[in-house]
């Protein structure tokens, strides 16, 4: 029964992941995500219901468009898988605390949408940041013991630290990343946010070196830092949860 429940939760999460991909791919380029039907970006063919099953459709068509056989970006498949896993993890740790579950699901969902936007367009739209801000305030409000003064202090410290780093090193961290980390620090706290920065810097640096050495990339494209920050935030959060358990 437990396995069936988790498989169902995983697939339920992957359906949301599919929707988050639509948000992350369309909103930054101001494409309508409510009326315009899903289509292949290569041949523009409108996708049928059978092409829209998360994970299955991608696997059945071997990662290619069913109409023109153009390779589909693994981003769609990856975000569906990640979303499914996150849904299972949240259910495992927060099934008895629905408000925390909803708040964290909102924060992690927005982090996924932000990662997709940053990965594709190297930008994090302010409207996503604003929604994330609502998400972290909501999460802070439903914490069993919420320390609001610590939340404001960590927000202020992280923002100041990164803002001046951004001024001193304009080619370093981007403005979107400064906002993202400041918002996250509000609910994650000062020390965990510093861990997030360390972990994200290390993983982004490793990815950068790996890409450079294996593909001989000319490195003309900036490495999006948002997905690394988002992934590090999720890892640090669950590491903290496990430590407390
Ligand atoms: Zn196509």
User: d(Cα 112, Cα 107) in Å, to the nearest integer?
Assistant: 9
Cα 64 to ligand 1 centroid, rounded to whole Å: 8
Angle among Cα 86, 8, 35 to the nearest 5 degrees reads 75
Cα 80 to ligand 1 centroid, rounded to whole Å: 20
Cα 50 to ligand 1 centroid, rounded to whole Å: 14
Which range is least confidently modeled, 34-48, 76-90, 181-195?
A: 34-48
What's the chain's average pLDDT?
91
User: Quick check: 79 and 20 in contact, CB under 8 A?
Assistant: yes
Domain residue ranges of the chain, discontinuous segments joined by +: 1-95, 121-245
Cα 117 to ligand 1 centroid, rounded to whole Å: 22
Cα 55 to ligand 1 centroid, rounded to whole Å: 17
Handedness of CA 115, 72, 202, 175 (dihedral sign): negative
What pLDDT score was predicted for residue 144? 83
Average pLDDT rounded to a whole number, residues 37-52: 85
Could you tell me the CA-to-CA distances from 1 to 5, 8, 11, 64, 95 in Å, in that order?
6, 11, 15, 34, 16
User: Quick check: 14 and 54 in contact, CB under 8 A?
Assistant: yes
């Amino acid at each position: 029964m437990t396995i069936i429940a988790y498989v169902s939760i995983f697939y339920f999460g992957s359906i949301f992941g599919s929707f988050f991909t639509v948000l992350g791919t369309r909103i930054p380029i101001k494409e309508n995500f409510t009326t315009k039907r899903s289509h292949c970006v290569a041949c523009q063919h409108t996708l049928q219901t059978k092409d829209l099953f998360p994970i299955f459709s991608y696997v059945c068509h071997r990662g290619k468009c069913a109409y023109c056989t153009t390779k589909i970006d693994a981003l769609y498949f990856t975000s569906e898988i990640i979303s499914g896993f996150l849904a299972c993890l949240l259910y495992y740790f927060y099934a008895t605390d629905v408000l925390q579950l909803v708040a964290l699901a909102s924060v992690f969902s927005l982090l996924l949408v932000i990662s997709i936007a940053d990965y594709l367009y190297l930008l994090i739209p302010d409207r996503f940041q604003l929604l994330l801000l609502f998400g972290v305030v909501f999460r802070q409000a439903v914490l069993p013991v919420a320390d609001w003064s610590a939340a404001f202090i960590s927000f202020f410290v992280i923002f100041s630290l990164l803002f001046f780093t951004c001024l001193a090193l304009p080619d370093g961290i981007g403005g979107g990343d400064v906002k993202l980390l400041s918002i996250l620090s509000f609910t994650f706290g000062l020390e965990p946010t510093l861990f997030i920065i360390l972990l994200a810097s290390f993983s982004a640096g490793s990815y950068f070196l790996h890409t450079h050495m294996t593909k001989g990339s000319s490195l003309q494209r900036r490495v999006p830092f948002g997905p690394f920050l988002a992934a590090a935030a999720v890892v640090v959060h669950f590491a903290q949860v496990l430590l407390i358990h």
